[in-house]
């Protein structure tokens, strides 16, 4: 066994072994067959030039890949992003600096590709702050006691309707619907054709776990699809002839409030159900307030979800809109050097109207680059971070002014794992 693992980009032929390495790192029991591993590698669209592995001899003991993402920012513009995923270190090789070495290579490569931010879904909280990532968009899951909720059934009177559709129909109408949804949702990422094929069972499922869900679409009076609710229902035994079933939502994509209300009420009005589980939703999802008794919705979990790392400060700050016009000078500390310096933001509520440049002016606020990642999409308060000592106010009132500029009326949300 070598004293130090070799880290390099994989070859195309090594993609199935990379998938096996990811499974080992995430403690997924049971090896894939060679054919299953090859199918998984194809479905993941592994790009060898973006896929790193740590090799101990010929065995992969660490994995790290990035995928090109397009993330919506406040105001509706999008930013290219490095989507970091598949990050593992096998338990036999922990505490040897493998993740740090792979992260250093990827962040430098992202800068070279012109990706101003990197994003990831953090499996563990304590890992990624050291690399300049900050939690930028959270998620909440609710359970609803359906009988207690007493939610009115949907009764469309405007010509709208709800239909159950096939996976093929979802592939036909889903992409256009979600494109409208994600452009109005800061933190959301574009979905690829492969994502839709996998989601609807049109690609091989290497683990054999895909189960066709129900797909319900909401159409407005003109026939346009404005909502999609994807769900499964368990099939519990009926003790004493009393149904005890749970409806679990996998995805809910809503382009209009009317679609959102109608599809949730549809799900809550079915016979034979006692509980509804929402799956991952935005932290300020409106579902509880749609219920006849909002207390019928209890939080199963509420946690950080998507993390963000700023690499190009001027491009990132200029991409989004702000609540009002104003300026803010930020002193950013970045040990990796990509975003270290002092930057002046001249903010505007108009798309394309904001600018950000390096400056020698005195700063209003000082923070580590991870804190800018936490503040950027508008989910966190600079005043709160200042109270925690994570932001330093160098000019009185600067934290409150930052909140006035940065906070958003709805909380950011990333609907998908990547």
Which residues are marked as active site?
Answer: 128, 418
Q: Is 1 helix (H, G, I), strand (E, B) or coil?
A: coil
**Residue 139 C-alpha from the chain's centroid:** 9
Q: DSSP label at 32?
A: P
Q: Residue 198's closest CA among 186, 206, 188, 190? A: 206
User: How far is the C-alpha of 350 from the C-alpha of 340, rounded, in Å?
Assistant: 27
The residues, ordered by sequence, that sit 6+ positions from 145 with a Cβ below 8 Å of its Cβ are: 274, 275, 296, 298
| Cα distances (Å, whole numbers) of residue 143 to 51, 240, 285 | 38, 24, 13
Give the alpha-carbon dihedral of 406, 83, 87, 111, to 10 degrees: -90
């Amino acid at each position: 066994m070598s004293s130090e693992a070799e880290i390099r980009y994989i070859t195309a032929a090594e993609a199935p072994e990379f998938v096996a390495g990811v499974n080992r790192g995430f403690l997924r029991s049971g090896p894939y067959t060679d054919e299953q591993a090859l199918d998984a590698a194809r479905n993941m669209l592994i790009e060898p030039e973006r896929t790193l592995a740590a090799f101990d001899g010929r065995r992969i003991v660490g994995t790290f890949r990035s995928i090109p993402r397009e993330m919506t920012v406040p105001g509706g513009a999008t930013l290219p992003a490095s989507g970091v995923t598949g990050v593992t270190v096998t338990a036999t090789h922990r505490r040897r600096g493998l993740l740090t070495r792979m992260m250093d290579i990827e962040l430098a490569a992202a800068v070279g590709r012109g990706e101003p931010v990197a994003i990831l879904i953090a499996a563990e909280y304590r890992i990624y702050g050291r690399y300049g990532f900050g939690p930028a968009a959270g998620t909440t899951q609710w359970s609803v006691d359906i009988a207690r909720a007493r939610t009115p059934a949907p009764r469309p009177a405007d010509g709208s309707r709800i239909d159950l559709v096939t996976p093929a129909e979802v592939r036909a109408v889903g992409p256009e619907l979600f494109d409208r949804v994600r452009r109005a949702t800061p933190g959301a990422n574009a979905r690829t054709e492969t994502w839709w094929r996998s989601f609807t069972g049109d690609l091989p499922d290497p683990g054999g776990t895909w189960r066709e869900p129900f797909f319900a679409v909401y159409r407005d009076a003109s026939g346009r699809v404005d909502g999609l609710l994807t769900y499964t229902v368990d099939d519990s035994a009926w003790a004493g002839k009393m149904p005890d079933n749970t409806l679990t939502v996998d995805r809910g994509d809503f382009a209009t409030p009317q679609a959102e209300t109608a599809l949730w009420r549809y799900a809550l009005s079915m016979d034979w159900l006692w509980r509804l589980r929402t799956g991952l939703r935005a932290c300020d999802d409106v579902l509880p307030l749609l219920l006849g008794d909002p207390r019928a919705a209890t939080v199963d979990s509420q946690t950080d979800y998507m993390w963000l790392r700023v690499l190009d400060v001027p491009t990132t700050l200029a991409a989004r809109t702000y609540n009002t016009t104003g300026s803010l000078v930020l002193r950013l500390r970045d040990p990796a050097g990509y975003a270290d310096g002092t930057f002046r933001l001249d903010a505007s509520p108009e798309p394309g109207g904001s600018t950000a440049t390096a400056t020698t002016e005195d700063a209003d606020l000082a923070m580590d680059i991870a804190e800018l990642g936490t503040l950027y999409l508008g989910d966190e308060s600079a005043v709160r971070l200042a109270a925690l000592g994570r932001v330093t106010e160098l000019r009185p009132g600067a934290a409150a002014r930052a909140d006035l500029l940065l906070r958003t009326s709805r909380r950011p949300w990333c609907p998908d794992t990547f």
